[in-house]
Structure 1
Amino acid sequence: MITVKAPGKLYIAGEYAVVETGFPAIIVALDQFVTATISPSDTVGSIVSKQYQENSIVWRRQGDTMVFDNRDNPFHYILSAINLTERYAHELGRNLGVYHLGINSELDSVDGKKYGLGSSAAVTVATVKALCQFYRLPMDKNKLFKLAAIAHLSVQGNGSLGDIAASVYGGWIAYHSFDREWLHVQRQQTRLSDLLAMDWPALKIDLLTPPANLRLMIGWTGSPASTSHLVDKVALVKAKQRSEYQAFLRDSQACLQRMVAGFHAGDLAAIQTEIRYNRQLLQTLGAFSHVTIETPLLQAMIQTAEDFGAAAKTSGAGGGDCGIVLLDRAKDPATLRTRWAAQGIQQLNLNVHTVTDASITNFD
């Protein structure tokens, strides 16, 4: 039996802007995982996940037709990952087999609510990684990212794919999103194996080393949010609020450049300053796009952390899920935890996960 893991993630800064080609975000991989197991079968294969067996679907009305939105259903990411990886295997002359695929996720709460840790990305990466080992396919982190990114984008249709990058590369990363229009064109005319070997325009993934005195804390509101639907809403205002949106992009890019410089300099205070500024930019975006990024509970979580002397903001698309806090390790976080608990905010006891090269088996 083959067993592989892929970590969850949290966005630290650069949300929404990162969906545009070449714009940066900082993301961190966490030590909660999706585990994929795969074993050969002689007759009938199976895909089993105890977490996802009763996943709901969302639909809307288009005229008289029900149109289903499956972007929050992890099974569709699993099937897309299987389809893409087996196409890659077929191009490389592998005989396709029958197997049992098991998926086990730690990225949701015990009652099935999403923490916002990138479960769809992690399940995609874990599925691709398991099948690459099963078929003994040439694979490194760059190819794993690209294959999983194509599979994920095929289902979600939007987003930056930064959560895929975090799940593949691990640790703290500065991620610049690739040109998705270019990828769409190339997919029509380029063999998948050739596409994985190409340089993708604007894609850039750099590993960051956090300051030694940086402590990351994560607060969960207990209210899940849909990233894809929030990104859809912001996308609708791009043309109507063009000047405001372009100003947001420019300011976010400059903010992230200064924040990355803070990481390189080991300067926690500089990073905290940019975290607070990035929060202001997201508040401005929420105001002119009429998207609720900071819910009342997220606002309370952030304010409590700021009163404690930390820097805090929403993580990811907002609208629920998690907020992140960066504080000095010299400060005892016990008081902050107590205040959060009184507000109904749960601290997620997670740590940064580093992906070692040994976790990617290259059969080239």
Structure 2
Amino acid sequence: MESKASAPGKAILFGEHAVVFGQPALAFAVDKRAYVSLKKSSGKKSTIKSTDLNFEASFDLSRGIDILKNQKKGIVNYILGALSLGHDGSPLEIELSMEMPVGAGMGSSAAVTVATLAAAYNLHHKNIDISNLAKKAHEVELMVQGAASPLDTAVSTNGGLVYLDENSEISSHQAYLDNSLILGYTSYRGNTGEMVDSVRKRRERFPQIMDPVIESVGNITRQALKLLSQDNLDKEYLGELMNINQGLLDSMGVNTPELSRMIFNARKYGALGSKITGAGGGGSIIAFCPGKLEEVLHILQKTDSAINADFSKEGVLIHHK
């Protein structure tokens, strides 16, 4: 029997870094997905293969990775973690395909984790409860990373627009963002842990300055949620909130010349708003450019990588043959 599932990546619209200090965050599912296929194997060990990421691995769940070609240990660890919670340990043939770049702030690890868990539950004919699946996927991320927000796995599981409030409670919302968003990403991937630590240290050095900055990001996020919930979205207002948020991220010290170049090129060629998405220090920007999608995409692709990050209402899916 073969079981196949997929889950979307994500992009943070508002709230990165401030969320670490108890402020809300707002993210959405991107129509780029991770696909995981599980098939029972007659061999003694399980194998993982990904043509997209150009790696192969073999393992025994009780002992961990045995052979790994092309050093994709991070992604493999999420798959192993998910299987430890959703599979009985018997040998599997696993195939992974990705429509999103790894390490670009698009929640690739969460998408792979959610898809693997869903495929494992389906393989064993277990009921897939969305809230439980998100919870278990977050447990895997904690297991692998040591610390993780529940936001990424909630977005990959639920799809759509997801709000993480001050009490770490998750809620899903409608949004009207179709055909208006671009993700640009650099070849250099920032280190999330290092960026979070640098912001924390800056806050410790300058609490009277940085606390209002962090609180302002939280207020922007709350305002953006109200705005996005309206049928008649004020697009210029949303873009302005993104640009203000970017100024505050700059003050946190997480920008780079490469990210800044993409941010200002996007605005120059028609984006109403553009900002870092994710931890910064490298990685990705998001640009809101209704009516100017092709122009902005073209200019960003001249110097960096960029994709149309269309809004996905669908979360995790089981694919039946």
**Residues 121-136 of structure 1 mapped to structure 2, 5 A cutoff:** 121-136=110-125
Q: Which has the higher contact order (CA 8 A, sep 6+)?
A: 2
> CA offsets per residue over residues 90-145 of structure 1, 9 Å max, x none?
xxxxxx35131414232555xxx643322111111111111111223333211111
The offset of 1:222, in angstroms, is 2.6
Q: Counterpart in 2 of 1:14?
A: 15
SS in 2 for 1:137: coil
**Equivalents in 2 of 1:202, 1:360: separation in Å?**
28
Normalised to the residue count of structure 2, the TM-score between the two structures is: 0.83
Q: Counterpart in 1 of 2:63?
A: none
**Equivalents in 2 of 1:47, 1:237: separation in Å?**
44
SS in 1 for 2:189: coil
**Equivalents in 1 of 2:198, 2:157: separation in Å?**
28
The offset of 1:237, in angstroms, is 4.2
- In the alignment, is the contact (CA less than 8 A) between 1:16 and 1:317 conserved in 2? yes
Q: Counterpart in 1 of 2:288?
A: 326
Is the deviation greater in 305-314 or in 237-246? 237-246
- In the alignment, is the contact (CA less than 8 A) between 1:20 and 1:160 conserved in 2? no
Assess, with a 3 A threshold, how the Cα gap between structure 1 residues 105 and 234 changes in structure 2: closer, same or farther. Answer: farther
**Equivalents in 2 of 1:153, 1:245: separation in Å?**
28
**Equivalents in 1 of 2:249, 2:268: separation in Å?**
20
**Equivalents in 2 of 1:4, 1:360: separation in Å?**
4
SS in 2 for 1:282: helix
Match of 1:203 among 169, 193, 202: 169
**Residues 90-239 of structure 1 mapped to structure 2, 5 A cutoff:** 96=88, 98-107=90-99, 114-176=103-165, 202-210=168-176, 215-239=180-204
**Equivalents in 2 of 1:15, 1:123: separation in Å?**
21
Count of equivalent residues: 300
Assess, with a 3 A threshold, how the Cα gap between structure 1 residues 337 and 33 changes in structure 2: closer, same or farther. Answer: closer
**Equivalents in 2 of 1:49, 1:15: separation in Å?**
33
**Equivalents in 2 of 1:85, 1:242: separation in Å?**
44
> CA offsets per residue over residues 158-211 of structure 1, 9 Å max, x none?
23232111111112222237xxxxxxxxxxxxxxxxxxxxxxx63122223125
> CA offsets per residue over residues 8-62 of structure 1, 9 Å max, x none?
11111110112344x321212122221111122355241303327379xxxxxxx
**Equivalents in 1 of 2:72, 2:154: separation in Å?**
19
**Residues 276-287 of structure 1 mapped to structure 2, 5 A cutoff:** 276-286=243-253
Is the deviation greater in 235-244 or in 257-266? 235-244
**Equivalents in 1 of 2:297, 2:33: separation in Å?**
24
SS in 1 for 2:255: coil
Q: Counterpart in 2 of 1:184?
A: none
- Unaligned stretches of 5+ residues in structure 1: 56-69, 87-95, 178-200, 287-292
Are 1:340 and 2:305 matched, yes or no? no
**Equivalents in 2 of 1:11, 1:119: separation in Å?**
13
What code does the residue aligned with 1:306 have? R
**Equivalents in 2 of 1:304, 1:258: separation in Å?**
26
Q: Counterpart in 1 of 2:37?
A: 37
What code does the residue aligned with 1:5 have? S
- In the alignment, is the contact (CA less than 8 A) between 2:266 and 2:299 conserved in 1? no
Match of 2:266 among 288, 302, 305: 305
Q: Counterpart in 2 of 1:53?
A: 55
Q: Counterpart in 1 of 2:257?
A: 296
Assess, with a 3 A threshold, how the Cα gap between structure 1 residues 338 and 355 changes in structure 2: closer, same or farther. Answer: closer
Higher strand fraction (1 or 2)? 2
Root mean square deviation of aligned Cα: 2.8
Normalised to the residue count of structure 1, the TM-score between the two structures is: 0.74
